[in-house]
Structure 1
């Protein structure tokens, strides 16, 4: 009650008093002035006590209200500072509250999101759907690191979601709280890591292959060196023997047979027939020695130091050598047609290109395995600065769905144990290092065709 203000009280009726104070059951005329004053003083005291209690309760209420506002501000600050998306739903799956991160993710204010079904906020291709969330609530379970895709204006946003049921003060489930952490950058980092790992594996395989090829080159070089000496000996002696036989045959023709015994001995020993067969036998010997000599030359070319400077070489000779090494030895009934220009020189490492052509021929032979009339056509053409060579087979061709993957490392259509999937990948890299181009596609008339394009010797690289 304000100080200095006059107090006007109306005398209470008999038996009652204001403020619930019981007054003496006496008529006013029977009460003395002292008793009346005492009663009113008691009433005033009770009113002061009630007012003081109201003031105390008001102060306490204001303190609690301030604490509540502070707590709400703290919670709002926490929700606003969260980088994870928070969505609170009721038991029917309708959104009841979102945080600032959710507003930024969905590109809408909280007022536009509240009340919407959760299904509208989840992308159709999400691994976890709104129905899964409702089933989780029905089973009283938790959601732990489940992948969701949120429907945002920029497209699907992958998030890892954790969720738990929300309960009221009486312990009844009233909804669920979902907290999602964007994992787009994490998935990108994982993809980059996986790509780097695959690149590392390819590099390792290439290093292993390079080491194998280097070891094979050293072995081939040793074998070629060891074969070269005896072949040179046989080749030189075959030429000398041919000259000797020519002389002996002229001498025997000049010396007449003496008597019947000589004539009978000459007939019995078939000297005339032997003399007639000697030229063809020597010719066959020389041809075989020349072929062995050519093989040794090919081995030396294949095992040459491929890290040195590039040099001009005849691509046609490399192609014919590859066909002899692979096609004729593995498929004797193969019909081979080779049509290459006379001037078919390129620049590079002969051993590398020999490996490429051998691989192309080997793939063609494998594709025709089991056919009754296999055919291999090798053709070539030349422009001012480019050589183009095609290797065409009569096989079944390449499946359309994998034709774009033939140069991928470790990809192969061959049975397990027959191919590693590295051959064409390494060939593609070798041709690229030679400033060329290698393509493989299905031929119009059936089968597959591999096209190798290389710089022409003397042309523009």
Structure 2
């Protein structure tokens, strides 16, 4: 038996036997059923929409909380306003800087929170806000509650609506006081770094000086001994000359004077006096030059350029290092007889000593140790090569040899500062220090540096 939508059983009566009004009653019931069905559908859609709305609302609240937390955590000042400059939102940093509450700030105009809205900087700032233009490092002053001004370095960009039209500005600023503190901290760090680098240079100088002091002491001992020997001889000669002159002044006979002159060897003394004095002066000059080189080498003062002979300085550097070595490698010079340049002599001397010492260390223990020193002028530059016939520089170390504290020497044999300091000194004088491996083995360190004057 058929069942209607309302759940009633429909009687299958012939049309002729159905009571009057039966069909219209059935039609009205169908209409109500359809309405109820539609209501169920709408209600289901409404429930689904409400659920989705609640989810979106929760997400929106979470986003708002996140934004509020970000704004609260910002140390920089943040102001959001419309194009008329009316403040719509501020963060905690702005509240703290101005000394006003958020409620007191929102709704006010930017010109009201500026310390001097009539200044040229403030006018330019407000004009760019009104036009929605980008603001970069604009220097403004925020009025604090006590009436003082808080300098601010402000940056800003436009707020766009969904149509891409400018509707406001977001302004972010950092108090200049913080920037000044940051700059002071940076400057202090730079000064500390500079001081540390200077101390490293002095330490390396002292280390190098310690390595060569034995050789230099021997170098000083020779001319000093020479001077003392000559002075003692001059002292004896002076005694003889005094005796002779005393007799001469006493009016003795010529025969006696001739005898004394012969016995006291006055003629030989007179002939020997000149060379003795010249030798003494030469020895004293050598001592003076050595002491001056030591003073210049160990000095921590900034020196001025001076004229000097490069080949002589190279030979001095080699002598200093070689005298302190037990096994002395062969040193082959390919240098001009004289090449005068105007540079910082102390800097170049220390670099020469460092490079020569490095070459000597590399060839130590070799069966046929050899160091080549070359000096020349090319295109207005002084070129100095210090080469060795050692094992060369390993490929993995080539990019690190001028780094501070990098060394391949055993502990106690090297500080890792010699090449680093040498590189810095040559760069300070406008030159370059490079290193390459030689084709036949070993390495070459090359100094290329412009010089002021040359006479050779």
TM-score (norm 1): 0.49
Greater Rg, structure 1 or structure 2? 1
